[in-house]
Amino acid sequence: MVKTILITGATDGIGKHLAKKLASEGHHVILHGRNPQKLELATQEVRAVSLRGRVSSYLADFSNLEDVYRFVGEIKRDFQSIDVLFNNAGLYAGKERKASAENVELTFMLSVLAPYILTTELSPLLEQSSDVRVINTSSYMHRFAKVKDLDFGFENDYNPGLAYNNSKLYTIWMTRYLARDFFLRGSNITVNSYHPGLISTNLGNNSSDEQTKKSLFGRLMKSFSKNLDEGIETGYYLTLAEEVTGLTGYYFDDKKVKAVSEKGYTFEKAQKLMNYCQEKIDLFKEKQDV
């Protein structure tokens, strides 16, 4: 069955490689990117291997909520249903904390707030599908998160590693929360998170500071990482495998459900995370009304 699959961060690495494979099998892929030149190139590359030529593309920089909401509006305008929302865009930020106008830290913005807004805003389109899947990209690095006082903005203590590890843990908390929420509301939307493996991509190279490039994602990734064909295996599995149908709220690694590092998870903490997201959304919307 041909699926309509929206992949964020499809201009590089895992997102682009997955888009090519899915398009080559005849699925309609909707590519998202933040850089116009890279998006144009990725669209051409994906279209060149596409079986049916059904490739759409949209530009949005997730570092600001204006772009996130404009993107959502364009998708709502152009599509009536979506089968899979693959929240893949992510980054390993630089050593200076960067934040949106609402003071949402950049890593958190990409890993948590943008996926949250996309999932909730696009839920009416997703609910049209008979086998709907939201896939949130977490990381094994969530195991190294240090959660002290639920400082979701990393205002008291910022470094790129902490922001990355904690945001990937919060991705899992959000996934659990949304999976439960959709289930309790009788929605057919399933939400899972996953770790793709340690994959050789541009992650970290996009960071503006040299120290970040040379450290974790410079040396470690080159020596141990897998290639992109291996890097998309679990994402591809979550997108299409029949045995995943109906599963929701889980964390996957290597095509299997894996236990997550709890890090003191409680439903109340997940609720606080969601409240934080909602406060930032409200702040943004208030400003739009002025």
Ligand X SMILES: NC(=O)c1ccc[n+]([C@@H]2O[C@H](COP(=O)([O-])OP(=O)(O)OC[C@H]3O[C@@H](n4cnc5c(N)ncnc54)[C@H](OP(=O)(O)O)[C@@H]3O)[C@@H](O)[C@H]2O)c1
Contact residues toward ligand X (CB under 6 A) are 9, 11-15, 33-35, 38, 61-63, 88-91, 110, 137, 139, 195-196, 198-199, 201-203, 206
Give the 3-state secondary structure of residue 208. Answer: coil
Nearest residue (CB) to ligand X, 88 versus 123: 88
The distance of closest approach from Cβ of residue 10 to ligand X in the complex, given in angstroms and rounded to an integer, is 6
The distance of closest approach from Cβ of residue 217 to ligand X in the complex, given in angstroms and rounded to an integer, is 8
Nearest residue (CB) to ligand X, 188 versus 200: 200
C-alpha 177/C-alpha 138 separation (Å) is 15
C-alpha 18/C-alpha 216 separation (Å) is 24
The distance of closest approach from Cβ of residue 136 to ligand X in the complex, given in angstroms and rounded to an integer, is 9
The distance of closest approach from Cβ of residue 186 to ligand X in the complex, given in angstroms and rounded to an integer, is 30
Q: Which residues 6+ apart lie within 8 Å of 46 measured at CB?
A: 10, 16, 19, 20, 23, 29, 31, 55
How distant, in Å, are the alpha carbons of 98, 197, 230, 236, 259 from that of 252?
30, 10, 15, 12, 8
Nearest residue (CB) to ligand X, 61 versus 66: 61
Beta carbons of 189 and 156 less than 8 angstroms apart: no
Please name which of 71, 72, 21, 4 lies closest in space to residue 235, comparing C-alpha atoms: 21
Maximum Cα interatomic distance, the chain, rounded to a whole number of Å: 52
The distance of closest approach from Cβ of residue 234 to ligand X in the complex, given in angstroms and rounded to an integer, is 10
Nearest residue (CB) to ligand X, 187 versus 196: 196
Nearest residue (CB) to ligand X, 9 versus 161: 9
Nearest residue (CB) to ligand X, 89 versus 240: 89
Tokens of 120: 């909730």
The distance of closest approach from Cβ of residue 256 to ligand X in the complex, given in angstroms and rounded to an integer, is 16
